Amino acid sequence: MRSLNQLKTKIEKKAQRVTKKVTKIVNNRSIKRGKYMSEHDKVVFDLKGYIVKPAVLSDTEVKVLRDFVLRQKNEPESLKPHERQLPGGPFANLIDHPVVMDILLNVIDPDPDKIRLENVFLSHREMGESEWNPHAGGHTTNPNYAYNFHDGRIYAGMTRVVWELNEVKQDQGGTCFIPGSHKANYNIRTNPLASIDARDSGLWESYSCPPGSLIVFSEAVRHSGDIWRNPDNPRMAIFCAYNHINVRHHKPDIPAEVIDNLAPKHQRFFRDVYHPLFDQ
């Protein structure tokens, strides 16, 4: 009897391992590698530390998201508890959006199992809101903010993926960057210079883009939020912090009920910080 039970447990464990392997193969195959991050995009990301992908989402997709995040912000009690906070609700489908995944596999790690999502929030700014707050930049030994180029490819740590849900006009409040500063030799992170950090130093670059655009940047590049100066619409941007499975910058604060209600293929982005090998 005992050996029958042991055999049953052994078979069940084996079945679980096979299911995991098959899921991994299916997930890998469903990612259209190289389709959305061209050689041009890779060179630009490496050169500047960020890229802009205009109008990735359709107007309808943007409207659904905009309405939903405004409901989360203004009338959360009208939603089920697990939908009251990001990444809950329709945003969840963007966690592994093909354009995002293609970029992350090219800049964090080629194995989708090694990519985590550690933080998601809505940035909503009306005219005059926000502050100038330059941070990051320069080489670092901290693996969270690492930016490495090795064996012909990028290996970055924390990577911000920003979904702009409203139009962003040039120099009217989009995120600002000092292009190339993720590779700076002088330590402008811990020894900042006011003449470099001033908004009008001539070193800062920003972007314009239509609603539904993606901005992806390495947390290693020196960047700052900017005062929102666009009178026609507020800034509505969903900020996501992806990272390598082995490190984490943020204190985990996404409620378990939000994660538990995501599809399994999205739940895997919120696994704890350890090598997926231990799940096999």
Ligand X SMILES: O=C(O)CCC(=O)C(=O)O
Binding status of residue 239 toward ligand X by CB under 6 A:
yes
Residue nearest to ligand X (CB): 225
**Is 218 near ligand X (CB under 6 A)?**
no
* Residue 160 within binding range of ligand X, rule CB under 6 A: yes
The stretch near ligand X (CB under 6 A) out of 63-71, 149-157, 218-226, 245-253 is 218-226
Residue whose CB is less far from ligand X, 88 or 225: 225
Residue 48 within binding range of ligand X, rule CB under 6 A? no
Residue in 85, 106, 119, 123 binding ligand X, rule: CB under 6 A: 123
- One residue of 119, 144, 175, 218 binding ligand X per CB under 6 A: 175
> Does residue 223 interact with ligand X by CB under 6 A?
yes
Residue number with CB closer to ligand X (106 or 123): 123
Instruction: Say whether residue 225 binds ligand X (CB under 6 A).
Output: yes
Query: Can you give the chain as a three-state secondary structure string?
Result: CHHHHHHHHHHHHHHHHHHHHHHHHHHHHHCCCCCCCCHHHHHHHHHHCEEEECCCCCHHHHHHHHHHHHHHHHCHHHCCHHHCCCCCCHHHHHCCCHHHHHHHHHHCCCCHHHEEEEEEEEEEECCCCCCCCCECCCCCCCHHHCEEEECCEEEECCEEEEEECCCECCCCCCCEECCCHHHCCCCCCCCCCHHHHCCCCCCCECCCECCCEEEEEECCCCEECCCCCCCCCCEEEEEEEEEECCCCCCCCCCCHHHHHCCCHHHHHHHCCCCCHHHHC
Residue 160 CB, shortest distance to ligand X, in Å, is 5
